[in-house]
Amino acid sequence: MKDVQSGPAEVAMPIDRVGVKNLRLPVLVRSRDNKGEVQHTVASVDLSVDLPARFKGTHMSRFIEALRAWSEELDYSSFKRLLEDVRLRLQAERAHLIFRFPYFLQRLAPETGTPALMDYQCTLLGELESGKLTFELGVDVPVMTVCPCSLAICNGGAHSQRAIVRIRTRSTGMVWIEDLIAIAEQAGSSPVYALLKREDERRVTEDAFAKPAFVEDVVRSAADELRRLEQVSWFRVEVESQESIHNHSAYAIIELDKNV
């Protein structure tokens, strides 16, 4: 049959990325704390390649075929193999891949120890070109913050809110999702929990008010911990405070490339 995609383009212009988005795929993610165990979750997947100016289009079905042929744990090595397969199937110079998925951890309430699952949104992003893989791991972590200014000017009260700590890292060695979550949670005034009894609510409130933090404090604390991780070569931390008494959010960002 005629291969229309491989024919000449009406406008001879290269395309940076062309592919498919929002594919749903069951995946396995290795756990740090339960040695040898994997977590079953579902990812939203984007796949793309570059397209030279001489081709009219790419072969979309080959992206699906590559995913169908791939059934491994989601880690650095398997990610690279999938990207290489996509690049070869599509006869491209560069291949791009994004996995977005929820990762679940059982967290214990701070006073009663009541267990409940917390979900954290994770992202794996990769680009393969000339055999070199750029691999990026990210996680979004909710925390609680208490405003230091409000606490200083009020008699026993202060406004508090939920903030989101968004961490993105590139690394030369293994980085666990759990480690990034821990870094984000320690940076805030307090972690947040899925289930709290009254004793736990009191403990969370007291702990948070004992550690007030501006959005600037949170982003600096998280960045300082990421800077200490030897295997992390680049990171970006964004903290967005969903203000409770303002009709806007406050945010701060720190990005650091250790190779520069």
Residue-wise pLDDT tens digits, 114-125? 999 999 999 999
- Residue 10: pLDDT band with limits 50, 70, 90: low
On whether the CB atoms of residues 167 and 136 are closer than 8 A, the answer is no
Task: Give the H/E segment covering residue 49.
Answer: strand 38-51
Q: What share of the chain is helix, strand, coil (3-state, %, to 5)?
A: 25, 40, 35
pTM for this predicted structure: 0.90
Enumerate long-range contacts of 76-80, CB under 8 Å, 24 or more apart: 76/133, 76/135, 76/174, 79/124, 79/126, 79/133, 79/135, 80/126, 80/128, 80/133, 80/135
On whether the CB atoms of residues 187 and 166 are closer than 8 A, the answer is no
Q: Domain 15-257's class?
A: alpha beta
Residue-wise pLDDT tens digits, 140-169? 999 999 999 898 898 878 899 999 999 999
- Residue 57: pLDDT band with limits 50, 70, 90: low
The pLDDT of 85-93, averaged and rounded, is: 92
Q: What is the mean pLDDT of the chain?
A: 90
The pLDDT of 64-70, averaged and rounded, is: 92
The percent of residues in the chain predicted with pLDDT above 90, rounded, is 68
Residue 60's pLDDT is what? 85
Residue 130's pLDDT is what? 86
Task: Domain ranges for the chain, please list them.
Answer: 15-257
